[in-house]
Structure 1
């Protein structure tokens, strides 16, 4: 998949070093399930697992986000396709230097477009730590509806955290005026 500035593609072995680098940033890891630093061995295993997945089969698939101009890996978009092939969960991670520049919006939009237009999904949901205001704002900007707050839902990194739940339905996404090119 390609957008104006990005290529969203399958992970490959060479991605282990940049994956370890951005996942080792404490600011990037703050609201994620992994701890920083993220060792290279763990990144190599992750990249192998990501590369083995399929975006069309139930389970997790991780898209690598690459800058078109420099071919640099700057983040990833994760999709967990449900067994019914009609619902999915989405998550996203972007290296700190590329946050706040519209790259996450561009990447997630392209993935949502694929999910709704090409794969025919009915619903996509997202969940984030309630303190992660940039992620919540991104989902709202893309048309997700905040559907709930799960108080002290997750025990992670030594603390209980509240989780925000978001969802978007196919008719809501397909009614949008702007279509991200594939």
Structure 2
């Protein structure tokens, strides 16, 4: 559905199940995530990227056709705003894949879908995700202190936003 030189972002397939279970089941990958690790590829294949609600892109590496992560887009009811979230397998981290996938989706949301604003939030301790969001142009918009109950503790959430007029391809 969305392609870069190294990645294809597409709908999930049943054959993605084992890879999805492996990387989402990794405690280091799931550490700051709020999703259910028992989510299946069939669960993530649901949704329509053209309608309000969540749509999850599978991130596939072109060189070997391996599923290396996923990127979710939540389109708001007004069809002018979206929120994103991303997860990458530990083996694929630190190689620029997440940055490449986020940039490709942002370009699609702003240039093709005409979104006005894209938001993101992450656990305040997840400095790698915060740096990625800032690197692609997001601005830090706020901090919600002890906002999320996750893994039996209260965590702070950092809020980010990017307006269409600020997007630089």
TM-score by length of 1: 0.90
Deviations 1:29-63 (A, max 9, x none): 0001246xx4xxx34xx321221211111000000
In the alignment, the residues of structure 1 paired with residue 82 and residue 112 of structure 2 have an alpha-carbon distance, to the nearest angstrom, of 14
Superposition pairs of residues 1-182 of structure 1, within 5 angstroms: 1-34=2-35, 38=37, 42-43=38-39, 46-173=40-167, 176=168, 179=169
In the alignment, the residues of structure 1 paired with residue 130 and residue 63 of structure 2 have an alpha-carbon distance, to the nearest angstrom, of 28
Q: Which runs of 5+ in 1 are unaligned?
A: none
Q: Tell me how many residue pairs correspond in the alignment.
A: 168
Q: Which runs of 5+ in 2 are unaligned?
A: none
Deviations 1:57-78 (A, max 9, x none): 1000000000001000000000
TM-score by length of 2: 0.96
RMSD between aligned alpha carbons? Answer: 1.0
Matched position secondary structure for 2:102 = helix
Could you list the structure 1 runs, at least 4 aligned residues long, displaced by more than 2 angstroms after superposition: none
Deviations 1:3-40 (A, max 9, x none): 010000000000011000000111000001246xx4xx
